[in-house]
Amino acid sequence: MPPAKKRTRKYDSEKIRAAVLAQFAAVREAVAGLTDERLALPATGLDGWTVRDLAAHLAMVVESVTRAAEGPEVAPGGPVVGLDEWPFATAAYADDISEDVRALAASGPVEEVFARAADRVVAALSGAADDRLVPVRVGTMRLADFLVTRTVELVVHTDDLNRATGLTVPYDRQALAACTRLLADGLAVKAPGASTEVRIPPYAVVQCVPGPRHTRGTPPNVVETDPLTWIRLATGRTTWAAALDSAKVSASGERADLSGLLPLMG
């Protein structure tokens, strides 16, 4: 496990809750128009998933919020998974996630799967406190932190859906911002230091990579990219070399090569 980061970013809980619901609503509307033929298309790079499986996973992301908000609360005193740890804790559960996704995809028409998820989540969240300790797949988390992780899942898989189908499902600005920031902070946790500045305008700037600390003027090592490219790099949807070749990333300085640190999440 990478070392803990000293300062944890704060998120506005109300904005995160609204972002989760808005991103899910956008996906639900888009998926409702997909034919069976398009639902059977492969979701490239997702372990043999089809678009139907991918849609089921997006619904499952929101169902997990309902389960966390409505389920039993964990007693305080035990270990709690923080946002800085979450990106590195998910890979161990990939097989379990795939099994659950395929079961949900086979449980009924996609529209019904989404309707079930949508019907319960608003009510479940309405009375749930941010500091509620909830059992989730990776351990125990604060509900507010778990909701931030849901923006990552929703944005990453909305991008997967768009690339697999040619759809242009929009990204809620707050969801995209939270996803970008959480993954950028994950890089700073994985490679603590201050020799390299990673810029992902307009949402995030982090310093990382061991080496001489920069204090003034233009940093000697700078990486800059857009939010979607960063998200694809951090989750293994594209490679460092491909992003450089397509000019989606600019990198200057001897410590600006992040290829050995990516992806953060598999």
Range of the domain at 60: 13-175
Tell me which of 175, 208, 227 is where a domain ends: 175
Q: Are residues 144 and 204 in the same domain?
A: no
pLDDT at 219: 79
Q: Is the model's pLDDT at 2 over the cut of 80? A: no
Q: Are residues 75 and 137 in the same domain?
A: yes
Q: Are residues 69 and 138 in the same domain?
A: yes
Q: Are residues 52 and 159 in the same domain?
A: yes
| Alpha carbon distance 88, 189 (integer Å) | 10
184 falls within a domain:
no
196 falls within a domain:
yes
- Could you tell me whether strands 204-208 and 222-225 are parallel, antiparallel, or unpaired per DSSP bridges? unpaired
Percentage of the chain lying above the pLDDT 70 cut: 96
Tell me which of 175, 204, 223 is where a domain ends: 175
Segment 12-38, tens digit of pLDDT: 999 999 999 999 999 999 999 999 999
| Alpha carbon distance 134, 162 (integer Å) | 31
Smallest Cα–Cα separation from 59: which of 118, 18, 146, 139?
A: 118
| Alpha carbon distance 61, 215 (integer Å) | 41
**250 three-class SS:** strand
CATH number of the domain where residue 37 is located: 1.20.120.450
Q: Is the model's pLDDT at 229 over the cut of 90? A: yes
Q: Are residues 33 and 106 in the same domain?
A: yes
Average pLDDT of the residues of the chain: 94
Segment 51-100, tens digit of pLDDT: 999 999 999 999 999 999 999 999 999 999 999 999 999 999 999 999 99
> Which stretch of DSSP H or E encloses residue 204?
strand 204-208
> How distant, in Å, are the alpha carbons of 65, 153, 223 from that of 137?
12, 13, 33
| Alpha carbon distance 114, 39 (integer Å) | 14
Q: Are residues 33 and 127 in the same domain?
A: yes
4 falls within a domain:
no
Q: Are residues 138 and 204 in the same domain?
A: no
Report the number of distinct structural domains present in the chain.
2
Segment 43-62, tens digit of pLDDT: 988 989 999 999 999 999 99
The answer for 145, left when phi > 0, alpha when psi is -120 to 50, beta otherwise, is alpha
- pLDDT (mean) for 203-228: 87
DSSP symbols for 17-52: HHHHHHHHHHHHHHHTT--HHHHTSB-TTSTT-BHH
pLDDT at 43: 95
